[in-house]
Structure 1
């Protein structure tokens, strides 16, 4: 204070010659206002940039840009793309996550189950992919992913969902990683194969307002981060594509939805040694990922429809006389002005609520009396949904439905493995971009499902290894969201070796156990 007083007195002498007490007080007040305004301006700048800017070392290597930072919201290491010469640059870097989302922690995201499902892209993707003891060689990798964060699919009667932006805003574009991603997408626009079913489709979210079920910017970033993680594990560590990458080494399949197509593009952008869309052939598929070449029959399966009807009838009993659910429905109905029987299903309600929570829309839905959906309501609904999922997972008819549904896909995975072993294919990596309705039955069939609705941008990975110096010694490793679940997989229990399973057990599982020795055509066209 003494130094401050002396400084102000010196200003008085410069401008007025002398200061009386009132003038001194007025100058102090003015000085305080100016300092406060400056601090507030700095605070706003820091909030808009996500955090206090940090110096990060960016090393360009071919078209890769390695960015390291010590921000806990962003993680220890981020890989970013750039088309540039080899050089080392020091520049200020703002973390991605805080660019995409507000800095403060949303109350909804403070609920662990909500945070788990939203899978907000604030941290580097991590996992046990590509980990094997010495003496093994990685031969082939196949990945099934769920699309990233999307806008809601459902809505409440007479209630509009929040208007969400499906476009990177200017603050996000100032982030180095996002700017590089958008630049690469613009470079590759209209470079799809003219014969592709995805020709002229948007490569990334860029609409001002989202339509129903459209991928959002954060959904792209989830898979960009996944792709970087896989690049580190498979491309840099294992040299999966050898010394020279070719587009024919990658097999990509997506369902015919923009959210799955754009998710696959985001993943490939950061995963591949180079991203040139005209080198890639992205195929379309149904939600079942059935390929007639691998089931040796038509993919049409009437038995699946009958099984699904059986599951629907049997699962209706799960929540009958569930007073806890009824109380929750009554509360939600009061907010939306609807009777409990007018509400959509639990899954549909959660889909709407996650549109708010995952995108940090405030407040959660409210009525004219300011009675709102609270985070505890969503947490309670999640608990009921997870309980329902556990019961469904234990339902024999649902297990059978999942097995018949995913057998064609697993038959394709096995065939790709065998072709790789015999050197009869150039494909080293396969990416399948699907939905929760793909991930869940696949996890159920493998015996690794815990009943939880798969979080956004979930992944199931199949790795094929060979033992160096040993002929015909091949092993399979299965990972779910980065965790090695091979010891828990139904085909490998009691047969685990170094966290892997001999290929013969996976082969027997796919060819004999799933369909109990019958063919897909026989199962599909007979009464079950």
Structure 2
């Protein structure tokens, strides 16, 4: 989001919390308190705004006796929340996290993909306007850092220890307790075949695709981050019931172990006897609705597009030839080994790139320049993928079953919390954790319309939050009743937030991009999401339902 877009968002939010307060709430002290709370908690503002807030907060409180409601707008402008220049409308087709003013650096992007757990993260999960109630949370994570799935011919495999040790970096203060708690896992309930999957990575020389200690720490941090974000909301009470928590994973050890590490960070020392870990046999988490011929056709078209783009890249071809010559293998043999997977592992773990010794004793090594060329082509591929559109159509059909299940859960929880209805404690699952892969999260982002989001890094997360607005005042109820809007009141009571790696991306999604969040309602109505999943998302494939989209013969 650009500078002007952020300023516009924060200005509208400031206006909602100050100018639009009812008359009886006009006391400047109360208004200013809400204003400061807003910019502390709810605004994702410009870096300059945060810097100014740090400098001006003492000034704000020192000036309290001299402030009045009429000059609060000046205060907003002072801390750079209200822009002083006109806002010009911008295209929606912008990169929603960081606007690129120049070509992205392939190596820098790769370090972001590593997601090394060595810095403090800011998460916006759990944030909402005052008095809104959080009803449910559904989280999908990508597994943490793993060992490569492929090895580069004629080179030594990276020397990484996949056992867990608190004395080895990176570590976490919960790591030792997590290791001990996993030893009690036999008490849990496991859907077949998950009971035979080891609950901890345990090889001193990592096996292919095995979760590393870095991956475990990433997920412990993820879980702990959300525990902190949702602590005040009491989303899972201390006496939570088995029905309130839903955990699912594919059968790969890296996803099972990632899910358990996340869960332990979120719910330390959880009761194993209450936990059921459910198996998803497909990486698309499509359950019993996986059969879809049209989805497979779109995927084949996407793979053909990828192939054509790769073979037309002369710099990439030259790089593979040079790498193959260094290693003493055929170029096609090197391509088949997908060397970028192993090179990324070397980069993420601070290891030198592989070297080989030739017949004459000369040493040849793969280089950072070669790595950068392959990464550059991957970034080019992401741009071309969005331009052509085959992948987006594939993603719509691939992720409909998961999105429909998500929508159904939200709708069920919302119905149980409708105005005037007393919710039954512990009757619905209010926290769902799905431990998945990059090939799950990437199409999910595309299906939601977040096609410009960065490719899922290790331990990436997508979060769906369901919120309920505060009860209507007596005056609002009378006003709605006089307009005959009683049924619409239910629709106005529930809202959705979507977050990707801690960033609120709700208003970049297809279903909420056009919502006017400056018109008194800063959250996205749940009904928008329900309509999108049940009907609107199929417009991309010229259909009105999943069944029609999957089985209609190609024209």
For the criterion TM > 0.5, the same-fold answer is yes
Secondary structure of the structure 1 residue equivalent to 2:215: helix
1:401 aligned residue (390, 394, 401): 394
Identify the residue that residue 526 of structure 2 maps to in structure 1: 503
| Separation in structure 2 between the aligned mates of residue 417 and residue 476 of structure 1, nearest angstrom | 9
Normalized per residue, which structure has more helix? 2
Identify the residue that residue 53 of structure 1 maps to in structure 2: none
Deviation larger for 170-179 or 453-462: 170-179
CA RMSD of aligned residues (A): 2.4
Q: Which runs of 5+ in 2 are unaligned?
A: 1-104, 417-423, 473-488
Identify the residue that residue 314 of structure 2 maps to in structure 1: 323
Identify the residue that residue 512 of structure 2 maps to in structure 1: 492
| Separation in structure 1 between the aligned mates of residue 453 and residue 379 of structure 2, nearest angstrom | 6
| Separation in structure 1 between the aligned mates of residue 527 and residue 500 of structure 2, nearest angstrom | 21
| Separation in structure 2 between the aligned mates of residue 342 and residue 361 of structure 1, nearest angstrom | 23
2:139 aligned residue (139, 143, 147): 143
1:224 paired to 2:250: no
1:125 to partner: Cα distance: 3.9
Identify the residue that residue 551 of structure 2 maps to in structure 1: 525
1:208 to partner: Cα distance: 1.9
Secondary structure of the structure 2 residue equivalent to 1:305: helix
| Separation in structure 2 between the aligned mates of residue 419 and residue 256 of structure 1, nearest angstrom | 28
Trace 1:261-410 onto structure 2 (pairs within 5 A): 261-272=256-267, 274-285=269-280, 286-292=282-288, 298-344=289-335, 348-368=338-358, 369-410=362-403
Q: TM-score, normalised by structure 1?
A: 0.73
1:170 to partner: Cα distance: 6.4
Deviation larger for 332-341 or 253-262: 332-341
Identify the residue that residue 460 of structure 1 maps to in structure 2: 462
1:307 to partner: Cα distance: 1.9
Normalized per residue, which structure has more strand? 1
| Separation in structure 1 between the aligned mates of residue 115 and residue 256 of structure 2, nearest angstrom | 19
Identify the residue that residue 450 of structure 2 maps to in structure 1: 448
| Separation in structure 2 between the aligned mates of residue 225 and residue 340 of structure 1, nearest angstrom | 41
CA gap of 1:111–1:325, structure 2 versus 1, over 3 A, is: closer
CA gap of 1:317–1:132, structure 2 versus 1, over 3 A, is: same
Q: Which runs of 5+ in 1 are unaligned?
A: 1-108, 293-297
Identify the residue that residue 168 of structure 1 maps to in structure 2: 164
Q: Which is greater in Rg?
A: 1
1:367 to partner: Cα distance: 4.5
Secondary structure of the structure 2 residue equivalent to 1:317: helix
1:421 to partner: Cα distance: 0.9
CA offsets 1:497-517 (integer angstroms, 9 cap, x no match): 365311111111111122235
Contact 1:149 1:215 in 2 (8 A): yes
CA gap of 1:322–1:133, structure 2 versus 1, over 3 A, is: same
Contact 1:125 1:226 in 2 (8 A): no
Deviation larger for 225-234 or 154-163: 154-163
CA gap of 1:194–1:429, structure 2 versus 1, over 3 A, is: closer
Identify the residue that residue 105 of structure 1 maps to in structure 2: none
| Separation in structure 1 between the aligned mates of residue 110 and residue 259 of structure 2, nearest angstrom | 24
CA gap of 1:243–1:154, structure 2 versus 1, over 3 A, is: closer
CA offsets 1:43-73 (integer angstroms, 9 cap, x no match): xxxxxxxxxxxxxxxxxxxxxxxxxxxxxxx
Identify the residue that residue 190 of structure 1 maps to in structure 2: 186
| Separation in structure 2 between the aligned mates of residue 248 and residue 195 of structure 1, nearest angstrom | 16
CA offsets 1:56-104 (integer angstroms, 9 cap, x no match): xxxxxxxxxxxxxxxxxxxxxxxxxxxxxxxxxxxxxxxxxxxxxxxxx
Q: TM-score, normalised by structure 2?
A: 0.70
CA gap of 1:158–1:273, structure 2 versus 1, over 3 A, is: closer
CA offsets 1:362-402 (integer angstroms, 9 cap, x no match): 35444443221223332332222111112112222211111
1:181 paired to 2:178: yes
| Separation in structure 1 between the aligned mates of residue 343 and residue 504 of structure 2, nearest angstrom | 31
| Separation in structure 2 between the aligned mates of residue 417 and residue 195 of structure 1, nearest angstrom | 24
Identify the residue that residue 497 of structure 2 maps to in structure 1: 477
1:210 to partner: Cα distance: 1.7
Trace 1:45-124 onto structure 2 (pairs within 5 A): 111-124=107-120
| Separation in structure 2 between the aligned mates of residue 405 and residue 268 of structure 1, nearest angstrom | 26
